[in-house]
Amino acid sequence: MRTRITGVACAFFMAEALASGQLVSESANAAAPVPDLSGFWARTTFGLEQPESGPGPIQPLNRRRPDGSRIDNFQFNVGDESSPILKPAAVLAVRKRNEMQRAGTDYPSPSNQCTTMVAPYAFRVQGLQVLQTNDQVVFLYMQDHQVRHVRLNAQHPVKLTRTLSGDSVGHFEGDTLVVDTVGFKAGRIAQLDQYGAPYGEDLHVVERYRLVDYEVARAAQERIVQANGGVTTEQAAAVDPNYRGKGLQVQFTVDDKTYFTTAWGGAATYRKAGSSWVENVCAENTHEYYRNTTTKVPEAERPDF
């Protein structure tokens, strides 16, 4: 059983992530031709936003009971396995996850199995620290020491070694950071969203990050919370209710011909975080913090010695 334990994060983690470069200073930022996306950002749901047009992420199904009353326990949502973006193998994966959720069994995911989270699954993590230098952007996710390094103005290697995180390169197009990631190694838990949609090693993800006005960010967050529900777990980062500055929005496109009938996209919107950084460590233990209970350990009927 893998659950997580929480504690205060140390500054060393962030320093280690930027060992190869110096943080963008305020004076440097003022003279820089590219926007400074750095900061501690937060979102308030696990769900992925729909794109402005075209195919989008799998949608949740169980928002209403047969009598029409609303379901407020969003933790056990099931996904639409009839989504037109899913090929048969992906339908089976989502269906398996749905069946386990309906039975009250937790489905294995990168989150509860302590494995690498790729975009867009990584956007489920509510806390995001963006660290920006002249030659790279680092994304730190406030869960399980998830880290992504994006090399700026670089190319993917000709002989690419596949990794669980893939190989990410980026560049700025005006006010937008474009991140291109390929070279994924599909590990034990290869999952793209909270509904169990899988991915293969031909996965190609493009992300476009930009700052958006406060009202745009607030409205986007309110819409997705209404559609997918908020988060109630202790590892969630809170949004600063008094901040009226820019938000951070990422629009993404997923292309994986192994499991999807077409390329599809979506978005995730962040606002300035109003809480402190809390370290979330995935560890082998039997305590389920989100239920405040302890999982029963299997016992053999008789000794095996």
**CA–CA distance, 41 with 120 (Å, rounded to integer):** 16
Cβ-proximal residues to 226 (8 Å cutoff; 6+ apart), any chain: none
Confidence band, pLDDT 50/70/90 cuts, at residue 11: very low
**Residue 76 CB partners (closer than 8 Å, separation 6+):** 62, 101, 102, 104
63 against 177, higher pLDDT: 177
- Average confidence (pLDDT) over 16-26: 49
Q: Is 279 helix (H, G, I), strand (E, B) or coil?
A: strand
- Angle, alpha carbons 238-241-242 (nearest 5°): 135
Would you call the peptide bond into 120 cis, given omega within 30 degrees of 0 as the criterion? yes
Mean pLDDT, rounded, of the chain: 84
Which tens digits make up the pLDDT trace of 72-113?
554 457 899 999 999 999 999 999 999 988 887 778 899 888
Model confidence at 244: pLDDT above 70: yes
pLDDT reported for residue 158: 94
